[in-house]
Amino acid sequence: MSAKIPPSSKPRSPSRTTADSSAISSGHKVSSAYANLVFNTMGHSEEVLDCFSRHGISKEQLADPSEKIAFDPLSSAIFELMETLNMPGAGLSIGRQIHISSHGAMGVAVISSQTVGQAIHDAAKYYHTAITFCDLEVYYDRDHVIVEIVETHGNPEFQTVVVEAMMLTIQNALEFVSGEVLSYAKISFAFPPPAYADDYSNFFSGEISFNADKHMMVLPKSILEKRCITADEHIHKLAEDQLQLRMQELRSNNLTMSHVLELMRRQPANMPSLEDLANIFNVSSRTIIRYLQAENTTYRKLRDSVHKQLATDALRNTDLSIDAIALDLGYQDTTSFRRAFKRWCGCSPSEYRKTTPK
């Protein structure tokens, strides 16, 4: 049997100026600090400001430190600027500028940790208090610690930019607290080498590889015991207290569009039903329906959106047969899949694969 379609398949290099307008909004948001960092990295010119404005991000929003900026229009603005300003490696430029202190209380906890191991643990534990469009997972084997980036933003064409920026953020943070260059790190990306892959050595300290199964950084386990040069037990306690309160707030309001979409993407062949979602969020099915109506969508639209994103991504970026893609998405026969695909895209899967550049 063919390999399963992963939650986030390998993308082609960004070539469009905007994200797919038919996609359902992810619901993810970023702080104005992140948006400002992007704004300045892209040149902080009137041209950049005009582009942000066209995508619904105002100068007033950028100036307000308490403002939250929607992830989808920000990613669309970045796409457009990458094209117009000829900046294909924007993720690298953005990632280089992100200091761990940009992440609020989570960043303070990391900086003030006693050891690098505690810093990695706190980053993974409290990541969602600062960033929601990715997950950070940490696991260990006998000799290594592995830090993996798992995307949850649902925009496969934005994969390269997001992962470049987030991997550099991790590297920057660990080099800052350890006081040493991570030349021994092994960094893997689950996408093909972009056209500017030779530039990666100017940004990343360790050994780079592409076409991996996961986006991850592998470090020797001995680094966990290294004392952070920025350790401060008192500041760490204050930061943890803030983060615990924030985590409680997030848990009490976890019925979000991004959470619903994340659950649906995890098992495309066996998506949770409305009843399953109601059980997960501890509400009634009617409450889920009303929530989706308030977001101007339905369960069927969300299901189709997820299947469409995964199907088009697999057709563009894998060699899976159409039969295999249909099976991995839960279709019992290829005819039903072809019919659904034509409804989504206006053409057959084979026509889409032939006419869409990789």
Q: Per mean pLDDT, which range of 7-21, 93-107, 236-250, 275-289 is the poorest?
A: 7-21
pLDDT recorded at residue 355:
86
Radius of gyration over every alpha carbon of the chain, rounded to an integer in angstroms: 21
Dihedrals phi, psi of 270, to nearest 5 degrees: -145, 60
- Kindly report the average pLDDT of the chain as a whole number: 86
For 29-248, CATH number?
3.90.1520.10
The two three-digit tokens of residue 301, written as one number: 């639209």
What is d(CA 21, CA 27) in angstroms, rounded to the nearest whole number?
14
Per-residue pLDDT reduced to its tens digit, 268-297: 888 999 888 887 776 777 778 877 887 788
257-355: what fold?
A: Arc Repressor Mutant, subunit A (1.10.10)
CATH 3.90.1520.10 domain range(s) in the chain: 29-248
Per-residue pLDDT reduced to its tens digit, 20-47: 444 445 567 788 888 888 998 898 899 9
pTM over 0.75: no
Beta-strand pair 186-188/144-151: unpaired
What is d(CA 27, CA 20) in angstroms, rounded to the nearest whole number?
15
CATH 1.10.10.60 domain range(s) in the chain: 257-355
User: In sequence order, which residues have a C-beta less than 8 Å from that of residue 347 and are 6 or more positions away?
Assistant: 341, 355
CB 163 within 8 A of CB 90: no
DSSP string, 39-94: HHHTT-SHHHHHHHHHTT--HHHHH-TT-EEEHHHHHHHHHHHHHHTT-TTHHHHH
Q: By CB neighbour count within 10 A (0-12 exposed, 13-18 middle, 19+ buried), where does 113 fall?
A: buried
Dihedrals phi, psi of 107, to nearest 5 degrees: -65, -40
Q: By CB neighbour count within 10 A (0-12 exposed, 13-18 middle, 19+ buried), where does 297 fall?
A: middle
Give the residue, 177 or 252, on which the prediction is more confident.
Answer: 177
